[in-house]
Amino acid sequence: MARKGPPTTSDDDKRIWARVTGTVTPPARRKAARVTPGAVLPDPEAPPVAARPARGVAGKKRNTPDQTPSFEALGLVVPARPAPARIRPTPEELEPRRQRRLSRERDPIEARIDLHGFGRFEAEDQLRGFLISCQMRGLRSVLVITGQGRRGGGIIRGSVHDWLTGPHLRGVVSGFASAHRRHGGDGALYVTLKPRG
């Protein structure tokens, strides 16, 4: 009986594994405590022994925390706290008037991307790159074709809402809505982009 070789890994499996391993942080290594034979280990339930106050030269006390000079007294600049990160609003559904203008092409659809034939992760990467490049070029309205999938339940169509509202595209997408039948109906979306900067 012939032995089978190791199973082959598909590109999707490799991409998934790369994403999973990118989120894992190895635990910090701890040094083992050195124990001298015959040494008495402290009792964990015993109350801690108060340390004696440190003495300086000629028996004088050193500065205690309440006597420590401030930054200003030493002529130093107080370090500034970093500014809190700006929270970007989540993209919303397009207002009906804007959706109508796009469906009648009174507002131009300046670019389009068709995600047919891509796997889930590849489609997400393609969409993200496309929308970021459109924003960099100053475009404001694009069409994203997802397809309807088999029996109306496609993976890309079901995931695109999460991609558009996710953190990676929050600074790019301002809104989105289902396209008119002439542009793909339920298998496509109008996506409006925020101005660059």
Judged by average pLDDT, the poorest of 38-42, 109-113, 151-155 is 38-42
- Comparison of pLDDT for 82 and 125, the residue scoring more: 125
Q: Taking 70 as the threshold, does the pLDDT of residue 195 lie above it?
A: yes
Q: What is the DSSP letter of 107?
A: S
Sequence-distant (6+) residues with CB within 8 A of 151 are none
CA 69 to chain centre: 42
Token look-up 């396209």 returns 179
Q: What's the average model confidence in pLDDT over 174-184?
A: 86
Stretch 136-150: mean pLDDT: 85
Taking only the tens place, the pLDDT of each residue in 72-106 is 666 666 556 665 555 556 666 777 788 788 888 88
What is the sign of the dihedral through the CA atoms of 10, 13, 15 and 17?
negative
Inform me whether the pLDDT recorded for 1 exceeds 60.
no
pTM of the model: 0.52
Strand partners, 111: 142
Rounded to 10 degrees, what is the CA torsion of 163, 133, 93, 177?
A: -90
> Which pLDDT score is estimated for 8?
75
- Mean pLDDT of the chain, nearest integer: 75
pLDDT score recorded for residue 133: 92
39, 31 contact by CB (below 8 A)? no
For residue 141, the cross-strand partners are: 192
- Pairing verdict, β 141-145 and 111-114: parallel
- In the numeric block, the tokens 């993976």 are attached to 155
